[in-house]
Amino acid sequence: MRASIRRAVLFVVIVAAAAVSAHGAEEVLLGKVRPSALPSITESWAKDYDAYEPAPDDLQALATLRGPADLDVYFGSWCGDSRRELPRLVKILDRASLPGLRVRYFALDRTKTKPARLARRGSIERVPTIVLRAEGREIGRIVESPQTTLEHDLALLVGLVPR
């Protein structure tokens, strides 16, 4: 009887350790990330991307962007808000096709301190943080969740870019 209890306890400990190990093994992206790696942040990426329909009026407003601008996207591959907003953002950018916009994706750790140079450069406290820059200065940012919709908030920022 005691041997079977010991075996049962040992089995539970091994299973628990395996579960913790598997959870800890979740890939956390860090640093500059290629757009092709973004779908790895969530199993439902394709479904979330396909399901999102950006408002056509806001896409037209985004298309008014003339000249060069940078959109820096700081996110956490572990973050629920990032997992929700990034498929939407990519769909918006795909639909708007903005040739003058350079988009860069930067993945941060859970503490939002690593890679340190990225976190400091972007003054990041929460993720996702989407920063629009033009002519060497910050135009504005969207932090965690948009105020209205992502495409509308982006269109408002694009409207502030000097022409």
* Sign of the C-alpha dihedral computed for residues 41, 44, 45 and 46 taken in this order: positive
pLDDT tens figures, 54-63? 999 999 999 9
pLDDT tens figures, 99-138? 899 999 999 999 988 888 888 888 899 999 999 999 999 9
The class of domain 28-158 in CATH terms is: alpha beta
Tell me 126's DSSP state: S
pLDDT for 119 equals 80
pLDDT tens figures, 13-41? 333 333 333 334 457 899 999 999 999 99
Residue-averaged pLDDT of the chain:
85
| Of the listed ranges 6-10, 115-119, 136-140, 153-157, the one predicted with least confidence | 6-10
Amino acid residing at 140: G
CA distance 152 to 55: 8
The whole-model pTM stands at: 0.81
pLDDT for 26 equals 59
Where are the alpha helices (H) located in the chain, listed in sequence order? 2-24, 45-51, 56-62, 80-96, 116-122, 150-158
Q: What are phi and psi of 108, to 5 degrees?
A: -115, 160
pLDDT for 94 equals 96
Mean pLDDT (whole number) for 67-94: 96
What are the residue boundaries of the structural domains of the chain, listed by start?
A: 28-158
